Amino acid sequence: MKFLKITFITALISFCGNLSAQQTPAPEQTEPVTIVGATAHIGNGEVIENSLIIFKDGKITQIMSANSTKMQYPGQIIEAKGKHVYPGFIAPNSTLGLVEIDAVRATDDEDEIGTMLPNVRSLIAYNAESKVVESMRPNGVLIGQITPRGGRISGTSSIVQFDAWNWEDAVIKENDGLHINWPNSFRRGRWWAGEERGMKENKEYKNEVLELSDFFAAARAYVNGDRKIPNLPYAAMEDVFTGKKKVFVHVDGEKEITDVIQFKKEQNLEGLVIVGGNQALAVADKLKENNIPVLVNRPHRTPEEEDEDYDMPYKLAKLLTDKGVLVGLESSGSMERMSTRNLPFYAGTVAAFGLDKEEALKLITSNNARILGIDGTAGTLEEGKDATLFISDGDALDMRTNILSHAYIQGREVSLETHQTELWKRYMGKYERQSK
């Protein structure tokens, strides 16, 4: 019994210690904040040198050149000459807050059992106190689209800001989009089922696409019918048919993307977005013609096909932009939750491979805001929009100079301390002592 008590107390102390890094959400803004002298990167391609930015009650009230005014600055004044101000970066298609530790099943809530799950809402599973979510803020990633995984229809995503007590406080846009995992016309041989290894034609592809079309048809009939028998998956499709909810189709192949474009026409879907789109360049003209944006997967990866250019992942966003397609960046894949903090550096890589630096910035600010449908309140530094922004000592798209001094979410100054910064300071102190 004594041993059990000691074990319990030890575990409790350890648990409390693990909570110490979690920051308490910032209080509401109580006085105006004025940022003077910084280079303001608006997020729409414009730059204001020696800028003046004022925000009050969580909203930007003024942004202009400091050279054009002699007004008395209100509230808290931040002298930021030599520094840079950016709108908060936006991470689409993210599972942040849905999984904390991959190896601990109790902390993994990114998918549900089933195939057609439009009624599954990722928002109610979102953990606003996640330590992984907290570690996004020091790099300027302040907003995310929390997205479910699995199944043919994964469910519905929602958009949140990264400083909240719970999902109710965090939400910016609830149930913003439906997520579909489009079938592949080719697939790898399932060795556990006795199939040969390597890529082979998926003979069930047409049936899988037909199954998806049949589900849409049945849901449409239910929504337009008397609904005597409750059907939650069908009922959840109503906002898709009315256009209130966007449709995000996760698809990579040229043939598959072409089929998605045809599916969009057949189903009369207005707000459709391609997620991934590794071979989107081959059908870029069709994407532009049908007003379909693409959320390109992170460039820090290897080419998907043997005959692709070695640098295709780095330059795909630029090539699609040059074709007139609206492009944003997302960061799904291996270690995606932790890697989301690298979102600004993905944009920096795209800039290094030919895209103008301010255009690359748009990929994680205004373009992502437009694609997600939150450009009325986020994505750029403009009067009337949320004061979700940060001050960096240097270029925020460069990991060497992305050093934040201040960050604000809807006008609240948020903490930049996390368990990651605590570890950094701890071990920097260790090596500094050893070098003396």
**Cα 232 to Cα 125, 153, 266, 275, distances in angstroms:** 18, 14, 23, 26
CB 164 within 8 A of CB 128: yes
For 28, the domain range is 21-87+381-436
From 391, 386, 359, select the one nearest 375 (Cα to Cα).
Answer: 386
Whole-number Å distance between alpha carbons of 421 and 23: 12
Judge if 367 and 391 occupy the same domain: no
Judge if 271 and 392 occupy the same domain: no
Q: Is residue 235 part of a domain?
A: no
Entry field: residues in the chain? 436
Judge if 154 and 280 occupy the same domain: yes
Judge if 75 and 108 occupy the same domain: no
Judge if 189 and 325 occupy the same domain: yes
Judge if 82 and 94 occupy the same domain: no
Task: List all residues 6 or more positions away from 385 whose beta carbon is below 8 Å from its beta carbon.
Answer: 59, 60, 376, 377, 378, 379
Q: Residue 410 maps to which CATH number?
A: 2.30.40.10
Q: Residue 290 maps to which CATH number?
A: 3.20.20.140
Whole-number Å distance between alpha carbons of 303 and 394: 31
The tens place of each residue's pLDDT in the chain, 436 residues long, gives 454 444 444 444 444 444 444 578 999 999 999 999 999 999 999 999 999 999 999 999 999 999 877 778 999 999 999 999 999 999 999 999 999 988 888 888 999 999 999 999 999 999 999 999 999 999 999 999 999 999 999 999 999 999 999 999 999 999 999 999 999 998 877 777 777 777 888 899 999 999 999 999 999 999 999 888 999 999 999 999 999 999 999 999 999 999 999 999 999 998 999 999 999 999 999 999 999 999 999 999 999 888 889 999 999 999 999 999 999 999 998 889 999 999 999 999 999 999 999 999 999 999 999 999 999 999 999 999 999 999 999 999 999 999 999 999 999 999 999 888 888 888 888 877 777 6
Judge if 365 and 305 occupy the same domain: yes
Query: Residue 266: exposed, middle, or buried by beta-carbon count in 10 A (0-12, 13-18, 19+)?
Result: exposed
Q: Is residue 194 part of a domain?
A: yes
| Domains: count for the chain | 2
Q: Is residue 227 part of a domain?
A: no
Judge if 285 and 334 occupy the same domain: yes
Judge if 317 and 363 occupy the same domain: yes
